[in-house]
Amino acid sequence: MSDSNGSISNAQANYKPRPQLPTEYAAVGIIEREGSVLVARRKRGAFLGGYWEFPGGKRKPGESYAQCVVREVLEETGLNVEVVRELLPVRFEYKNKRIILQPYLCRVISGTAQALDSDAIQWMPLRELKSLKMPEANAEIIKRLLTGEYEI
């Protein structure tokens, strides 16, 4: 801001706007079974390889988030799921990109969970999710699951 003399403050003079970050839109499935949720470990060499995540991925052009999560869960785990309900989205900024995660509570219709596009897959009790190495963007989802904000 300018002071009464019209000069610019030091903070304003040193301000550099942040560059616009590319934004990725993804849907993730919160697939619950007997108090546990399905998680998968990303393949080594991939972005955040070795980290655990909820199954899901990027939307294709013209695809809804709900269609995306059903497709991605099938491709990654072999499970046919149906969306039970949409959950509150999460926005997170990494250094080089912004990600908008749209989580869905999903129910298994058929199939057996398999690691089709990951190094491993497992059913993890909710209370143990915080012990996994997961992408920072998932921290808010885990918090909402553990506090009951996401009713599952």
| Contacts of residue 125, Cβ cutoff 8 Å, sequence gap at least 6 | 35, 36
Find out whether 26 and 56 touch, Cβ atoms under 8 Å: yes
pLDDT 10s digits, 29-43: 999 999 999 999 999
State the amino acid at position 125 in one-letter form: P
Residue 28 structure tokens: 């993730």
Q: Show me where the domains of the chain are located.
A: 19-147
Q: How many residues does the chain have?
A: 152
Q: How confident is the model at residue 12 (pLDDT cuts 50, 70, 90)?
A: low
User: pTM of the entire structure?
Assistant: 0.83
Q: What is the DSSP letter of 131?
A: G
What pLDDT score was predicted for residue 152?
83
- The share of the chain scoring above pLDDT 90, in percent, equals 74
Which of these, 55, 88, 85, lies nearest to 71 by C-alpha position? 55
- The whole-angstrom separation of Cα 135 and Cα 49 is 10
Could you say which architecture CATH assigns to the domain 19-147? Answer: Alpha-Beta Complex (3.90)
